[in-house]
Structure 1
Amino acid sequence: MNEKIIREKYALEYIKDILSTYSYALKNVDDAKYHHNAPYKDARFIIKYGILSMEEINKLGIKSYSEEDLNLMDDIESHVNGKDGVSLSIVGLTDLYKDEEEYNPFMPNVVDFLIDNNIKAFRNTIHYGNEFVSESKITSDKIKSADIRLVKYIDSLPKKDNIDIIDVVNKYNNLILMSKEIVSSNKDIQIREMSDGCNKTIDTLKISEEPRLILKK
Protein backbone atom coordinates (compact mmCIF):
# COMPACT_ATOMS: atom_id res chain seq x y z
CA MET A 1 0.00 0.00 0.00
CA ASN A 2 1.39 3.39 -0.99
CA GLU A 3 2.07 5.90 1.74
CA LYS A 4 2.00 9.68 1.93
CA ILE A 5 3.71 11.63 4.68
CA ILE A 6 1.70 14.65 5.77
CA ARG A 7 2.16 17.22 8.50
CA GLU A 8 -0.40 17.10 11.28
CA LYS A 9 -1.67 20.62 10.74
CA TYR A 10 -2.66 19.83 7.14
CA ALA A 11 -4.09 16.32 7.64
CA LEU A 12 -7.71 17.10 8.46
CA GLU A 13 -8.25 19.53 5.59
CA TYR A 14 -6.47 17.14 3.24
CA ILE A 15 -8.90 14.34 4.16
CA LYS A 16 -11.90 16.61 3.71
CA ASP A 17 -10.56 17.74 0.32
CA ILE A 18 -10.07 14.14 -0.85
CA LEU A 19 -13.61 13.19 0.18
CA SER A 20 -14.97 16.23 -1.64
CA THR A 21 -12.89 15.65 -4.77
CA TYR A 22 -13.78 11.98 -5.11
CA SER A 23 -17.53 12.28 -4.66
CA TYR A 24 -20.50 12.72 -6.95
CA ALA A 25 -24.28 13.03 -6.80
CA LEU A 26 -25.86 10.93 -4.10
CA LYS A 27 -27.26 7.55 -5.10
CA ASN A 28 -30.31 6.65 -3.07
CA VAL A 29 -30.48 3.30 -1.31
CA ASP A 30 -33.81 1.50 -1.61
CA ASP A 31 -35.22 -1.39 0.42
CA ALA A 32 -32.60 -1.17 3.17
CA LYS A 33 -34.34 -0.36 6.44
CA TYR A 34 -31.85 -2.00 8.80
CA HIS A 35 -28.75 -0.26 10.16
CA HIS A 36 -25.66 -1.85 11.67
CA ASN A 37 -22.90 0.32 13.15
CA ALA A 38 -19.26 -0.73 13.31
CA PRO A 39 -15.90 0.93 14.01
CA TYR A 40 -13.87 1.95 10.97
CA LYS A 41 -11.20 -0.61 11.85
CA ASP A 42 -13.74 -3.44 11.47
CA ALA A 43 -15.34 -2.20 8.25
CA ARG A 44 -13.11 -4.05 5.77
CA PHE A 45 -13.73 -7.34 7.58
CA ILE A 46 -17.48 -6.77 7.34
CA ILE A 47 -17.13 -6.20 3.60
CA LYS A 48 -15.09 -9.41 3.31
CA TYR A 49 -16.94 -11.77 5.66
CA GLY A 50 -20.32 -10.13 6.20
CA ILE A 51 -21.70 -9.08 9.58
CA LEU A 52 -20.91 -11.86 12.02
CA SER A 53 -21.88 -12.74 15.56
CA MET A 54 -19.20 -12.56 18.26
CA GLU A 55 -18.95 -16.34 18.27
CA GLU A 56 -18.42 -16.47 14.49
CA ILE A 57 -15.81 -13.70 14.68
CA ASN A 58 -13.99 -15.76 17.31
CA LYS A 59 -14.15 -18.97 15.24
CA LEU A 60 -12.70 -17.26 12.16
CA GLY A 61 -9.89 -15.75 14.22
CA ILE A 62 -10.74 -12.18 13.21
CA LYS A 63 -10.71 -11.36 16.90
CA SER A 64 -9.98 -13.55 19.88
CA TYR A 65 -12.52 -13.79 22.70
CA SER A 66 -12.17 -15.95 25.79
CA GLU A 67 -14.99 -18.23 26.87
CA GLU A 68 -15.59 -15.80 29.73
CA ASP A 69 -15.92 -12.94 27.24
CA LEU A 70 -18.40 -14.90 25.12
CA ASN A 71 -20.47 -15.84 28.15
CA LEU A 72 -20.59 -12.20 29.21
CA MET A 73 -21.70 -11.19 25.70
CA ASP A 74 -24.38 -13.88 25.81
CA ASP A 75 -26.01 -12.03 28.71
CA ILE A 76 -28.51 -9.99 26.72
CA GLU A 77 -29.15 -7.76 29.72
CA SER A 78 -25.73 -6.22 29.05
CA HIS A 79 -25.21 -7.05 25.37
CA VAL A 80 -28.40 -7.02 23.34
CA ASN A 81 -27.50 -9.39 20.53
CA GLY A 82 -25.78 -12.04 22.65
CA LYS A 83 -22.84 -14.05 21.33
CA ASP A 84 -24.90 -15.64 18.54
CA GLY A 85 -26.78 -12.63 17.17
CA VAL A 86 -26.22 -9.50 15.11
CA SER A 87 -27.58 -6.21 16.42
CA LEU A 88 -29.54 -3.96 14.04
CA SER A 89 -31.78 -0.92 14.28
CA ILE A 90 -34.57 0.72 12.31
CA VAL A 91 -35.20 4.46 12.38
CA GLY A 92 -38.53 6.22 12.18
CA LEU A 93 -40.65 3.69 14.04
CA THR A 94 -43.83 5.19 15.45
CA ASP A 95 -44.74 2.52 18.00
CA LEU A 96 -42.09 3.17 20.66
CA TYR A 97 -43.34 3.56 24.21
CA LYS A 98 -42.98 6.94 25.87
CA ASP A 99 -40.06 5.87 28.06
CA GLU A 100 -38.23 3.80 25.43
CA GLU A 101 -34.88 5.06 24.23
CA GLU A 102 -34.28 5.09 20.47
CA TYR A 103 -30.89 4.01 19.15
CA ASN A 104 -29.29 6.55 16.82
CA PRO A 105 -27.37 4.84 13.98
CA PHE A 106 -26.22 8.15 12.49
CA MET A 107 -23.27 8.70 14.85
CA PRO A 108 -20.30 10.30 13.05
CA ASN A 109 -17.59 8.16 14.68
CA VAL A 110 -18.71 4.85 13.12
CA VAL A 111 -19.54 3.30 9.76
CA ASP A 112 -23.29 2.90 9.25
CA PHE A 113 -24.05 -0.19 7.15
CA LEU A 114 -27.45 -0.24 5.44
CA ILE A 115 -28.88 -3.74 5.22
CA ASP A 116 -31.42 -5.21 2.81
CA ASN A 117 -35.01 -5.46 4.04
CA ASN A 118 -35.13 -9.15 3.14
CA ILE A 119 -33.29 -10.59 6.11
CA LYS A 120 -34.78 -12.36 9.10
CA ALA A 121 -34.62 -10.30 12.28
CA PHE A 122 -36.74 -10.05 15.40
CA ARG A 123 -37.35 -7.07 17.63
CA ASN A 124 -35.52 -6.87 20.94
CA THR A 125 -36.38 -3.85 23.07
CA ILE A 126 -34.34 -4.64 26.19
CA HIS A 127 -32.02 -1.69 25.54
CA TYR A 128 -33.58 0.30 22.71
CA GLY A 129 -37.10 0.45 21.38
CA ASN A 130 -35.94 0.31 17.77
CA GLU A 131 -33.38 -2.49 18.06
CA PHE A 132 -33.59 -5.77 16.15
CA VAL A 133 -31.49 -8.93 16.21
CA SER A 134 -30.61 -11.31 13.40
CA GLU A 135 -29.85 -14.83 14.62
CA SER A 136 -27.66 -15.63 11.62
CA LYS A 137 -24.77 -13.89 9.90
CA ILE A 138 -25.62 -11.19 7.39
CA THR A 139 -23.75 -11.94 4.19
CA SER A 140 -22.07 -9.07 2.39
CA ASP A 141 -24.47 -9.33 -0.57
CA LYS A 142 -27.16 -8.03 1.82
CA ILE A 143 -25.14 -4.86 2.52
CA LYS A 144 -26.31 -2.07 0.22
CA SER A 145 -24.26 0.84 1.48
CA ALA A 146 -21.55 1.84 3.92
CA ASP A 147 -22.41 5.36 5.07
CA ILE A 148 -19.78 7.52 6.72
CA ARG A 149 -19.97 10.91 8.38
CA LEU A 150 -16.28 11.67 8.59
CA VAL A 151 -16.59 15.34 7.61
CA LYS A 152 -19.09 15.86 10.42
CA TYR A 153 -16.80 14.01 12.80
CA ILE A 154 -13.86 16.26 11.89
CA ASP A 155 -15.95 19.42 12.22
CA SER A 156 -17.29 18.31 15.61
CA LEU A 157 -13.87 17.88 17.22
CA PRO A 158 -13.48 20.71 19.75
CA LYS A 159 -9.68 20.78 20.03
CA LYS A 160 -8.34 19.01 16.96
CA ASP A 161 -5.22 18.13 18.92
CA ASN A 162 -2.68 15.37 18.25
CA ILE A 163 -4.92 12.59 19.60
CA ASP A 164 -7.88 13.77 17.51
CA ILE A 165 -5.81 14.01 14.34
CA ILE A 166 -4.36 10.52 14.82
CA ASP A 167 -7.89 9.19 15.34
CA VAL A 168 -9.20 10.80 12.14
CA VAL A 169 -6.21 9.63 10.10
CA ASN A 170 -6.72 6.08 11.37
CA LYS A 171 -10.37 6.26 10.31
CA TYR A 172 -9.37 7.57 6.89
CA ASN A 173 -6.75 4.85 6.41
CA ASN A 174 -9.34 2.23 7.34
CA LEU A 175 -11.74 3.81 4.85
CA ILE A 176 -9.11 3.21 2.17
CA LEU A 177 -8.80 -0.43 3.26
CA MET A 178 -12.58 -0.85 3.14
CA SER A 179 -12.62 0.64 -0.37
CA LYS A 180 -9.85 -1.72 -1.48
CA GLU A 181 -11.84 -4.69 -0.22
CA ILE A 182 -14.95 -3.56 -2.10
CA VAL A 183 -12.98 -3.09 -5.33
CA SER A 184 -10.87 -6.27 -5.10
CA SER A 185 -13.89 -8.46 -4.33
CA ASN A 186 -16.12 -6.66 -6.86
CA LYS A 187 -18.82 -6.12 -4.24
CA ASP A 188 -21.87 -4.07 -5.19
CA ILE A 189 -21.64 -1.85 -2.11
CA GLN A 190 -21.48 1.91 -2.35
CA ILE A 191 -19.81 4.25 0.14
CA ARG A 192 -21.67 7.47 0.89
CA GLU A 193 -20.54 10.57 2.79
CA MET A 194 -23.69 11.51 4.70
CA SER A 195 -22.46 14.37 6.88
CA ASP A 196 -24.87 17.28 7.21
CA GLY A 197 -24.74 19.30 4.02
CA CYS A 198 -22.62 16.73 2.13
CA ASN A 199 -24.75 13.73 1.14
CA LYS A 200 -22.58 12.44 -1.69
CA THR A 201 -21.62 9.05 -3.08
CA ILE A 202 -17.89 8.39 -2.81
CA ASP A 203 -15.90 7.13 -5.79
CA THR A 204 -14.80 3.86 -4.22
CA LEU A 205 -12.19 3.10 -6.88
CA LYS A 206 -10.52 6.49 -6.49
CA ILE A 207 -10.42 6.23 -2.69
CA SER A 208 -9.02 2.70 -2.92
CA GLU A 209 -6.09 4.06 -4.93
CA GLU A 210 -5.23 6.76 -2.41
CA PRO A 211 -2.05 6.38 -0.32
CA ARG A 212 -2.16 5.60 3.38
CA LEU A 213 -1.39 8.71 5.43
CA ILE A 214 1.63 8.85 7.73
CA LEU A 215 1.67 11.78 10.14
CA LYS A 216 4.63 13.93 11.04
CA LYS A 217 4.81 16.96 13.30
Structure 2
Amino acid sequence: MDTIELFQDHFGMKCVGVKFFEGEIDTSNLQILRDIKFCQAVRIAYDQPVLLDKDSISCKGAQYALGFEEGTEKEIANAIKLKRGISKETAEQLVENIPRIKNAHYKYIGLNIENPDILIFYMIPKRFMEFLKIYQRTGNSLEVRLSSITAMCGDVAVQTFLTKRICISFGCDDSREYGEVADEELIVGIPKEKIEEIMRIIC
Protein backbone atom coordinates (compact mmCIF):
# COMPACT_ATOMS: atom_id res chain seq x y z
CA MET A 1 0.00 0.00 0.00
CA ASP A 2 1.14 3.56 -0.61
CA THR A 3 1.32 6.20 2.13
CA ILE A 4 -2.21 7.49 1.59
CA GLU A 5 -3.68 3.98 1.65
CA LEU A 6 -1.75 3.23 4.85
CA PHE A 7 -3.13 6.43 6.41
CA GLN A 8 -6.69 5.53 5.44
CA ASP A 9 -6.26 2.00 6.73
CA HIS A 10 -4.82 3.20 10.05
CA PHE A 11 -7.62 5.68 10.73
CA GLY A 12 -10.36 3.64 9.07
CA MET A 13 -11.70 6.34 6.77
CA LYS A 14 -11.86 7.21 3.09
CA CYS A 15 -10.67 10.38 1.44
CA VAL A 16 -10.67 12.18 -1.90
CA GLY A 17 -7.38 13.45 -3.27
CA VAL A 18 -7.40 16.83 -5.01
CA LYS A 19 -4.81 17.73 -7.64
CA PHE A 20 -4.42 21.08 -9.42
CA PHE A 21 -3.16 20.72 -13.01
CA GLU A 22 -1.43 23.68 -14.66
CA GLY A 23 -1.25 22.44 -18.25
CA GLU A 24 -2.83 20.00 -20.64
CA ILE A 25 -3.35 16.42 -19.50
CA ASP A 26 -4.73 13.25 -21.04
CA THR A 27 -8.46 13.37 -20.30
CA SER A 28 -9.46 10.38 -22.43
CA ASN A 29 -10.03 8.08 -19.46
CA LEU A 30 -11.51 10.66 -17.10
CA GLN A 31 -14.98 12.12 -16.86
CA ILE A 32 -15.12 15.93 -16.93
CA LEU A 33 -18.14 16.90 -14.85
CA ARG A 34 -20.54 19.65 -15.88
CA ASP A 35 -22.99 21.92 -14.04
CA ILE A 36 -22.04 20.69 -10.59
CA LYS A 37 -21.09 22.10 -7.22
CA PHE A 38 -17.55 21.42 -6.01
CA CYS A 39 -18.80 19.70 -2.87
CA GLN A 40 -21.10 17.52 -4.97
CA ALA A 41 -18.16 16.59 -7.20
CA VAL A 42 -16.14 15.56 -4.13
CA ARG A 43 -18.92 13.19 -3.12
CA ILE A 44 -19.04 11.67 -6.62
CA ALA A 45 -15.26 11.29 -6.55
CA TYR A 46 -15.49 8.93 -3.59
CA ASP A 47 -16.60 6.34 -6.15
CA GLN A 48 -14.67 7.33 -9.30
CA PRO A 49 -11.93 9.70 -10.51
CA VAL A 50 -13.29 12.89 -12.10
CA LEU A 51 -12.02 16.16 -13.55
CA LEU A 52 -13.26 19.72 -13.15
CA ASP A 53 -12.48 22.71 -15.37
CA LYS A 54 -13.70 26.30 -15.51
CA ASP A 55 -16.96 25.20 -17.14
CA SER A 56 -17.70 22.50 -14.56
CA ILE A 57 -18.64 24.47 -11.46
CA SER A 58 -22.18 25.84 -11.09
CA CYS A 59 -21.61 27.54 -7.72
CA LYS A 60 -20.42 31.17 -7.93
CA GLY A 61 -18.64 30.95 -4.58
CA ALA A 62 -16.64 27.90 -5.65
CA GLN A 63 -15.82 29.42 -9.05
CA TYR A 64 -14.43 32.45 -7.21
CA ALA A 65 -12.52 30.49 -4.56
CA LEU A 66 -10.97 28.10 -7.09
CA GLY A 67 -9.87 30.97 -9.32
CA PHE A 68 -12.01 30.01 -12.29
CA GLU A 69 -13.86 33.33 -12.24
CA GLU A 70 -12.86 36.89 -11.30
CA GLY A 71 -14.86 40.03 -10.60
CA THR A 72 -17.93 38.34 -9.10
CA GLU A 73 -17.45 39.64 -5.57
CA LYS A 74 -20.52 41.91 -5.62
CA GLU A 75 -22.75 39.18 -7.03
CA ILE A 76 -21.63 36.71 -4.37
CA ALA A 77 -21.96 39.30 -1.59
CA ASN A 78 -25.49 40.15 -2.71
CA ALA A 79 -26.48 36.47 -2.66
CA ILE A 80 -25.07 36.11 0.87
CA LYS A 81 -26.83 39.30 1.97
CA LEU A 82 -30.20 38.04 0.76
CA LYS A 83 -29.75 34.51 2.09
CA ARG A 84 -28.40 35.46 5.52
CA GLY A 85 -30.33 38.69 6.06
CA ILE A 86 -27.17 40.66 6.81
CA SER A 87 -25.93 44.07 5.73
CA LYS A 88 -24.23 44.69 2.40
CA GLU A 89 -21.03 45.71 4.22
CA THR A 90 -20.94 42.53 6.29
CA ALA A 91 -21.55 40.36 3.23
CA GLU A 92 -18.77 42.13 1.32
CA GLN A 93 -16.36 41.55 4.23
CA LEU A 94 -17.22 37.85 4.26
CA VAL A 95 -16.50 37.61 0.53
CA GLU A 96 -13.21 39.46 0.98
CA ASN A 97 -12.18 36.83 3.53
CA ILE A 98 -12.83 33.84 1.25
CA PRO A 99 -9.60 31.89 0.67
CA ARG A 100 -9.08 31.91 -3.08
CA ILE A 101 -6.59 31.19 -5.80
CA LYS A 102 -5.77 34.51 -7.45
CA ASN A 103 -4.74 34.78 -11.10
CA ALA A 104 -5.29 31.06 -11.43
CA HIS A 105 -3.45 29.24 -14.17
CA TYR A 106 -4.81 25.80 -13.35
CA LYS A 107 -6.66 24.25 -16.27
CA TYR A 108 -8.06 21.24 -14.45
CA ILE A 109 -8.75 20.08 -10.93
CA GLY A 110 -8.61 16.32 -10.51
CA LEU A 111 -10.54 14.51 -7.78
CA ASN A 112 -9.58 11.00 -6.69
CA ILE A 113 -6.48 11.29 -8.88
CA GLU A 114 -3.02 9.79 -8.31
CA ASN A 115 -0.37 11.93 -6.60
CA PRO A 116 -2.78 14.54 -5.15
CA ASP A 117 -1.74 17.88 -3.71
CA ILE A 118 -4.19 17.66 -0.82
CA LEU A 119 -6.73 15.21 0.58
CA ILE A 120 -10.25 15.86 1.82
CA PHE A 121 -11.66 13.69 4.61
CA TYR A 122 -15.01 13.52 6.36
CA MET A 123 -14.17 12.82 10.02
CA ILE A 124 -16.15 12.42 13.21
CA PRO A 125 -14.73 14.58 16.03
CA LYS A 126 -13.38 11.59 17.99
CA ARG A 127 -11.46 10.34 14.96
CA PHE A 128 -10.09 13.83 14.38
CA MET A 129 -8.99 13.98 18.03
CA GLU A 130 -7.07 10.72 17.55
CA PHE A 131 -5.45 12.14 14.42
CA LEU A 132 -4.60 15.40 16.21
CA LYS A 133 -2.93 13.57 19.09
CA ILE A 134 -0.58 11.91 16.62
CA TYR A 135 -0.02 15.14 14.69
CA GLN A 136 0.99 16.93 17.88
CA ARG A 137 3.91 14.56 18.31
CA THR A 138 5.57 16.94 15.84
CA GLY A 139 5.38 19.61 18.54
CA ASN A 140 2.88 21.67 16.57
CA SER A 141 -0.62 22.77 17.47
CA LEU A 142 -3.40 23.33 14.95
CA GLU A 143 -4.46 26.87 14.08
CA VAL A 144 -8.03 26.94 12.81
CA ARG A 145 -9.86 29.44 10.60
CA LEU A 146 -13.60 28.79 10.28
CA SER A 147 -16.33 30.15 8.05
CA SER A 148 -19.83 29.01 7.11
CA ILE A 149 -19.54 30.04 3.45
CA THR A 150 -17.52 28.35 0.67
CA ALA A 151 -16.66 25.76 3.29
CA MET A 152 -15.43 22.76 1.33
CA CYS A 153 -14.17 24.63 -1.73
CA GLY A 154 -12.63 27.67 -0.04
CA ASP A 155 -11.96 26.92 3.62
CA VAL A 156 -10.81 23.34 3.03
CA ALA A 157 -9.61 22.72 -0.55
CA VAL A 158 -8.17 26.13 -1.43
CA GLN A 159 -6.91 27.07 2.03
CA THR A 160 -5.18 23.70 2.51
CA PHE A 161 -3.60 23.97 -0.95
CA LEU A 162 -2.35 27.54 -0.50
CA THR A 163 -1.15 27.35 3.10
CA LYS A 164 0.06 23.72 3.12
CA ARG A 165 -1.60 23.45 6.53
CA ILE A 166 -4.27 21.14 7.94
CA CYS A 167 -7.66 22.86 7.72
CA ILE A 168 -11.07 21.93 9.07
CA SER A 169 -14.61 23.14 8.47
CA PHE A 170 -18.05 22.52 9.90
CA GLY A 171 -19.35 23.02 6.37
CA CYS A 172 -21.84 25.36 4.79
CA ASP A 173 -25.46 24.63 3.88
CA ASP A 174 -24.53 23.55 0.34
CA SER A 175 -21.52 21.41 1.24
CA ARG A 176 -23.46 19.49 3.88
CA GLU A 177 -26.36 18.90 1.50
CA TYR A 178 -24.62 18.29 -1.83
CA GLY A 179 -21.45 16.81 -0.38
CA GLU A 180 -23.56 14.52 1.80
CA VAL A 181 -21.65 15.44 4.94
CA ALA A 182 -23.32 13.75 7.90
CA ASP A 183 -24.44 15.80 10.91
CA GLU A 184 -21.72 14.26 13.06
CA GLU A 185 -18.88 14.84 10.57
CA LEU A 186 -16.27 17.56 10.04
CA ILE A 187 -14.61 18.31 6.70
CA VAL A 188 -10.83 18.07 6.97
CA GLY A 189 -8.18 19.06 4.44
CA ILE A 190 -4.66 17.64 4.79
CA PRO A 191 -1.69 18.37 2.50
CA LYS A 192 -0.09 15.23 1.11
CA GLU A 193 3.20 16.16 2.81
CA LYS A 194 1.48 16.12 6.21
CA ILE A 195 0.09 12.64 5.52
CA GLU A 196 3.63 11.44 4.83
CA GLU A 197 4.93 13.17 7.97
CA ILE A 198 2.27 11.58 10.17
CA MET A 199 2.80 8.12 8.70
CA ARG A 200 6.53 8.38 9.49
CA ILE A 201 5.54 8.99 13.12
CA ILE A 202 3.11 6.07 13.18
CA CYS A 203 5.41 3.63 11.42
Tell me if TM exceeds 0.5.
Answer: no
Normalized per residue, which structure has more strand?
1
- TM-score norm. by structure 1 comes to 0.26
- TM-score norm. by structure 2 comes to 0.28
Higher relative contact order structure (alpha carbons within 8 Å, sequence separation ≥ 6): 1
Looking at CA atoms only, which structure, 1 or 2, has the larger radius of gyration?
1
Normalized per residue, which structure has more helix?
2
